[in-house]
Amino acid sequence: MADNLRKPRVVIAGAGMSGMFMGIQLKRAGIEDFTIYEKAVEVGGTWRENTYPGLSCDVPAHYYSYPFELNPDWTQLFAKGPEIQKYMRHVADKYHLREHIEFGQELANGEHDGKHWQLKTSEGKTDQADVLVTACGVLHHPSYPKIPGLDDFAGTAFHSSRWPDELALKDKRIGLIGTGSTGVQIITELGAQGHDLSVFQRTPQWVFPLPNRKYHAVERWLLRHVPFLNKAVHRIHEFAFEQFFAKAVVHEGGPRKLITRLCEWNLNRVKDPELKRKLTPPDQPMCKRMVISGGFYNSVQKGNVQVVDTAIDKIVPEGVVTSDGKLHELDVLVLATGFKAHDFMRPMELRTGDGKTLSALWGERVKAYRSVALPGFLNLFMLQGPKSPVGNFSLISIAQTQTDYIMDCIRLWQKGEFDAMAPLTSVTDRLDDELANSMDGTVWVTGCNSWYLDENGVPDTWPSTPARFRE
């Protein structure tokens, strides 16, 4: 770092994929005065939190990789959760991030005093920063269903993101609520293993039939010993994802029609008419988060899996009672009911120097300037913030675009071109309205209730292409 550049003190909230990306970018720029506060005792974020059977990423592994740390040793097209978490730990070690991480410390609140962020963790530790970056992730606050009697269940009940260690499932009657991506992954795995499984489904979802092929040892050897080939594979996956799936969700046309036809073909593999009726969605493919599975329909057609589409009335100590009065006796109840996708860094409370709070700013609707900043909040930046393209993009690619932008701002601070910056409220509101008005033609407004929609029914994601987001 040049001697004439100011040296910032940076604090990052969260040591998941995005927070680690930010830390590495700081180190690559020669900035070593930063701390990452992590509420848990290990890095990895969602890949640390989730350990359920069948856990895998729904983005191809060679695309879901840091561009400066490509992994030639992925064993499958869609990497399993433990393999991704191993990769995250490797990155943290290789780039010497652990010396910057305060584990077991969750940022609770912060106030900008006009010069610095004055910060405090849930454990009472205080800190001061020139720049604050929140990297708390999107899907990390579990959403629990409001079902009467849930606390009365006598067996083992838990959210899918809180899967108990060493849970024994042999000879157990298992119930699972939810058929989104998480639910489908669990159903596919447990169904294939022959477990007695009752699936309580509110709304069926389309399933895209992409098998999770394994990579041969020869393929991995070639990628390991021919770096150019490894980079080419990364770019090919990126190009295919962006030109096919990412365009399909925001524009009508060939890719969307092809995905629809393949999902319909996949559903037609279900032979039993009644089961097929239960599994037929009422909306368009991709209106909700696309479920990718090559084995789901095989699992639900096994005799050990029962799909229940009758509404749940209540939960009693013995199991689940549906609205037809039937008692489904269970020993284990899994809540694959998703997350509070619009909480972002909350319950963290942030305050401006003139007393404005994050809670007040987001009281009517969650908004942000280009997904990375908030009006009135000086030198605050977000990774995976509101209107990030989480519905049509790899989260690592999103983080790359956002960290590049944040690093540009930090470089301006280093040069003394500003001491503190925040977007104007008028500009933020105008851009937010423009995004909301640009949703026509996207698949998210075709008529479904998904976690992409905010409380006002507006998709909280990016309505255009990845290329336009980077631009």
Each residue's pLDDT expressed in tens, for the chain with a length of 471 residues:
456 899 999 999 999 999 999 999 999 999 999 999 999 999 999 999 999 999 999 999 999 999 999 999 999 999 999 999 999 999 999 999 999 999 999 999 999 999 999 999 999 999 999 999 999 998 888 999 999 999 999 999 999 999 999 999 999 999 999 999 999 999 999 999 999 999 999 999 999 999 999 999 999 999 999 999 999 999 999 999 999 999 999 999 999 999 999 999 999 999 999 999 999 999 999 999 989 999 999 999 999 999 999 999 999 999 999 999 999 999 999 999 999 888 999 999 999 989 999 999 999 889 999 999 999 999 999 999 999 999 878 999 999 999 999 999 999 999 999 999 999 999 999 999 999 999 999 999 999 999 999 888 889 999 999 999 999
User: Number of helices and strands (H, E) in the chain?
Assistant: 14, 19
How many Å apart are CA 452 and CA 386, to the nearest integer? 11
End-to-end distance of the chain based on CA atoms, in angstroms?
A: 28
CB 34 within 8 A of CB 101: no
- Phi and psi angles of residue 468, each rounded to the nearest 5 degrees, phi first: -70, -35
How many Å apart are CA 198 and CA 196, to the nearest integer? 7
Cross-strand bridge partners of residue 174: 197, 332
Residue whose pair of structure tokens reads 């509404």 in the numeric block:
311
pLDDT at 3: 67
Whether the pTM exceeds 0.85: the reply is yes
Neighbouring CB atoms inside 10 A of 354's CB total 8
**Nearest partner of 8 among 406, 424, 423, judged by Cα:** 406
